[in-house]
Amino acid sequence: MSKLGAIGRGLYSLVALLVNVVLRVGLHVALVAGVGVSVHEAYKFSKSSGVLQRKEVLDVIYWRDPKKSAIVLSLALLALFILAKYPLLTVVTYSLLLALGAAAGFRVFKKIEAQIKKTDAEHPFSEILATDLSLPQEKVHAQADVFVEHATLAANKLKKLVFVESPFESLKFGLVLWSLTYIASWFSGFTLAILGLVGVFSVPKVYESNQEAIDPHLATISGHLKNVQNLIDEKLPFLRSAPVAAEEKKDQ
């Protein structure tokens, strides 16, 4: 009886080990797939919304002017490090206090210098004070229109995903959200922000420099994804997006 019990416990341990291994492998495969789908969907959204079509953004991301791109990246990293260590209100107040102290000290210095030299004391910041800081209404309206357009596109896309217009697309969205829960548990928000910022300034340039070698692999992956989607549509037709009644009436 003891031998049978030992054999039973051994088989139970072996089955538990196999199930554990299968679950872990499945978890990591699903996580990688979720991250890949999220990156692909983010790229499609940014491309369709016109964010990647802006010349100013492309010039900075693709390092057209290395000096300008380096300055933007350095300032962004510095801002992230400062905001990660200090509260936003502290950063703003101390920055303004530093600017106020420097300006006041410089004006007092110029005042004393004028008294010593017996000259008229002009305001050292007269040119800055005379500068008109009003924003052009046309540019403000244009930027507001772009923001509203992107926000509307994102809201409509989120509405379709959350309310399951297309079951397959909502399933991918759920996989992305599920994978992000694990990423959030592994990395802090600061780490993700740093990785995202470095990725924005490195991945597009690497792709541009090695596009001929990367495109065939991307085409192969895209073909596999389309085959998987076609197979799912064939085997699980209920996951296809149902036609909208309003669109059917228009077609009729």
Write the pLDDT tens digit of every residue in 100-126: 999 999 888 888 888 888 887 788 888
Do residues 164 and 242 touch, judged by C-beta distance below 8 A? no
* Residue 140 pLDDT > 70: yes
pLDDT in tens, 35-68: 454 455 555 545 554 444 467 778 888 888 888 8
* Residue 248 pLDDT > 50: no
More confident of the two residues 50 and 73: 73
- What predicted TM-score, i.e. pTM, was given to this entire model? 0.54
* Residue 252 pLDDT > 60: no
CA 167 → CA 90, 159, 175, 224, 236, distances in Å?
Answer: 46, 13, 12, 20, 10
Which residues are CB-contacts of 103 (< 8 A; sequence separation ≥ 6)?
Answer: 125
d(CA 139, CA 122) in angstroms, rounded, equals: 35
pLDDT in tens, 199-247: 888 888 888 888 888 888 888 888 887 887 777 777 777 666 554 444 4
Do residues 225 and 82 touch, judged by C-beta distance below 8 A? no
pLDDT in tens, 166-176: 877 888 888 88
pLDDT of residue 152: 92
What b/e readout covers 42-63, taking b as 16+ CB neighbours within 10 angstroms?
eeeeeeebeeeeeeeeeebbeb
d(CA 72, CA 59) in angstroms, rounded, equals: 11
Paired tokens of 231: 């197979």
Q: Is residue 120 helix, strand or coil?
A: coil
